[in-house]
Amino acid sequence: MRFYDPDGTEYGIPTYPRRLAPGGLATRRQLRAQGLRPGGQPVAAQILWHRYGQLRVAYLYRLDLAQPVRPMTPARWTAHEQMMRARRTCPDCRTQCEYVIPTSLGCCPHCADQPAHTDHDAIAA
């Protein structure tokens, strides 16, 4: 069976194909859904699979060593709000949008739709 290496002899750590990992292990997303975090523990195993021709990996952590997620303190909420405000502020027009500015545009859609100002415009004026 491909990617089945429970001893870790071939891949260095225990490796399983998708949906065949033993109980007691979870990915970061699965831990988070349960209100847990890895808590500094090392990776216990991994899941390998191919998707769109690329090798994908998901690391697994032991549930018995997982710790509860740290609660959000007022200072952490403030830092989070400042970070989100920066992601919603257009670097060109400095307006704050109600949504996160797309990284593909680099600015708000209104500024992205404006024709670029070139040196030819300055010379003609």
Instruction: Looking at the structure, tell me whether residues 62 and 86 fall in a common domain.
Output: no
Instruction: Looking at the structure, tell me whether residues 19 and 49 fall in a common domain.
Output: yes
Q: What is the pLDDT at residue 120?
A: 46
Q: What is the pLDDT at residue 118?
A: 44
The answer to whether 60 and 21 are in contact (CB under 8 A) is: yes
The answer to whether 25 and 45 are in contact (CB under 8 A) is: yes
Does any domain span residue 85? yes
Q: What is the pLDDT at residue 114?
A: 82
Instruction: Looking at the structure, tell me whether residues 43 and 63 fall in a common domain.
Output: yes
Instruction: Looking at the structure, tell me whether residues 59 and 103 fall in a common domain.
Output: no
49 forms beta bridges with 56
Instruction: Looking at the structure, tell me whether residues 20 and 63 fall in a common domain.
Output: yes
Q: What is the pLDDT at residue 2?
A: 86
Residues of the chain with pLDDT under 50: 117-122
| Strand residue runs (E) in 27-121 | 36-37, 45-51, 54-62, 67-68
Q: What is the pLDDT at residue 116?
A: 62
pTM of whole model > 0.75?
no
Does any domain span residue 1? no
CA distance 49 to 72: 35
The answer to whether 66 and 38 are in contact (CB under 8 A) is: yes
37 forms beta bridges with 67
H helix runs in 1-125, sequence order: 28-33, 74-88, 109-113, 119-124
Q: What is the pLDDT at residue 99?
A: 93
68 forms beta bridges with 36
* Enclosing domain of residue 50: 15-68
Does any domain span residue 78? yes
